[in-house]
Structure 1
Amino acid sequence: MAAAMIAFAVGAGFPAGAAAAPKNYCTELKGIASGGVCRIQLTDPGYTVDISFPTDYPDLKPVADYISKTRNDFINAARGSEQREMASALSITGQKYGSLIPPRGTTGMVLTTYQNTGAARPQTSYKSFNWDQAYRKPITWETLWQPKADPLPAVFGIVQADVNAQAGKPVPISPEAGLDPANYQNFAVTNDGVIFFFSQGTLLPAAAGALQVLAPRSAIDPMLA
């Protein structure tokens, strides 16, 4: 991480010796780093918090910002709620992904967030972060594809077929949801393809749970940037 920061400083025209020390985002989040993983654990009579994420992702600031906001919002809500028999629970787990297939290597992290605040149903959601190793910048849905590509019809078809296969029966996804790029913002690039992560209630009713679908490279590779 430190070497990457120094390399960036030199490339940007700053002397290597003038590069500021990289932030320790784990410490800022009041976590403990060990073995390349930051762990944050809080226990209170009204709630529990259990967070872990890899510390070697190249662009940790947005990861830390997301975790900080999610944790703080959860704690504020838990403290403001009435006394419950069971404490509220927040769990955030980070999983690393990556691809070495040309023309660019990628690395990514997907945070799986589980929240139980006493509502009718606990909620599972996803937040992804992807990094272009060649160009040293984030990868978004828009930059994932070739400029003139139209990936949504193909990806939606893959997702619909996979959902049907997982359920063992047809489970129609509305075209309004299935063809909305806003619903495909959370993904991870791998050697096998692109895994799309759908939080509860994104494509199907919340009762269906959270979904993960792999779009294989054989089906989408010509459209990838």
Structure 2
Amino acid sequence: MTRLITAWAALLIGAITFGAPASAQPIRSCADLGGSVEAARICRIKAESDTYAIDISYSLDYPDQQSLTDYITTNKDDFIAFVGSIPRRDRTYDRGITPHSYASRSTASVVLEVYGDTGAHPVTSFHAFNYDLGTHAPITFGTAFTPGAVGALDPIVQREMERRWVGYLDPAPHNTLGARVYQDFALTDDAVIFYIGQGMWLPEVAGPQRVSISRSELASVLI
């Protein structure tokens, strides 16, 4: 049961104003989501009950606000529904979302760090959004990297994981999830920064991972 709850949690789990893409649906405002605007144009949503506590923040300057607010809304609503479907406990179930924003000359990125405490221990996962400012379109792993990029990425990230795993009895594990490990990333002019959720590569005890790789090292697989 704990493993199922952990897996569920992982799944749920100076600003610059960019031109926003056109959308057929009205974009929900920070106030619509129950939040308030704080410094650096961050929307913060806080809510508490006797069973849960929510503390969610997201950037109001990310150009594709529709996708971002859709994700925030779904994550928040699904979390509240999930908490309502499981037994109460002697402390609240918690959900936290923290944004990490990046930019390059032609892209904008925001990586949401999703914290969930709904099981035996807290779990941190990530959800990334990347946007091409020239084409006004989302960027995904499939559109940013060539087919077969995983084969080039794995040895680079493996070296970093070996370094971080020093001191444990067993050797550092290898990537068993393929391209899924690399879905959450941010783009800068100099690097691609991969955010790897807790337990996706190293065991959960090692926590979530952040690996920055220079663009020059990825030149052969970047589109």
Report the TM-score when normalising by structure 2: 0.82
Deviations 1:155-202 (A, max 9, x none): 11111111111222674333533xx11221110011231111111222
Matched, 1:214 2:215: no
1:189-200 maps to which residues of 2 (within 5 A)?
189-200=187-198
Partners of 1:34 and 1:175 in 2: CA distance: 39
Does residue 1:162 correspond to 2:173, yes or no?
Answer: no
Deviation digits for residues 77-132 of structure 1 (CA, Å, limit 9, x no counterpart) = 223333322111110011111122xxxx1110000011112x22211000000001
Task: Give the equivalent residue in structure 1 for 2:6.
Answer: none
Structure 2: 5+ residue stretches without partners: 1-15
Larger radius of gyration: 1
Query: Following the alignment from structure 2 to structure 1, what is the Cα–Cα distance between the partners of residues 55 and 184?
Result: 22
Q: How many pairs were matched up?
A: 205
- Look up the match of 1:33: 37
TM-score, normalised to structure 1, is 0.81
CA contact (8 A) 1:38 1:55 kept: yes
- Listed as ranges, the matches of 1:1-225 within 5 Å are 4=19, 23-35=27-39, 36-100=41-105, 105-117=106-118, 119-146=119-146, 150-168=148-166, 171-177=171-177, 180-225=178-223
RCO comparison, higher one (Cα < 8 Å, 6+) = 2
Q: Unpaired segments of 5 or more residues in structure 1? A: 10-18
Q: Look up the match of 1:12.
A: none
Q: Using the aligned pairs only, state the percent identity.
A: 33
CA distance in structure 2 between the aligned counterparts of 1:3 and 1:172, rounded to whole angstroms:
41
Cα shift at 1:21? 10
Higher helix share: 1
Give the secondary-structure state (helix, strand or coil) at the position aligned to 1:195.
strand
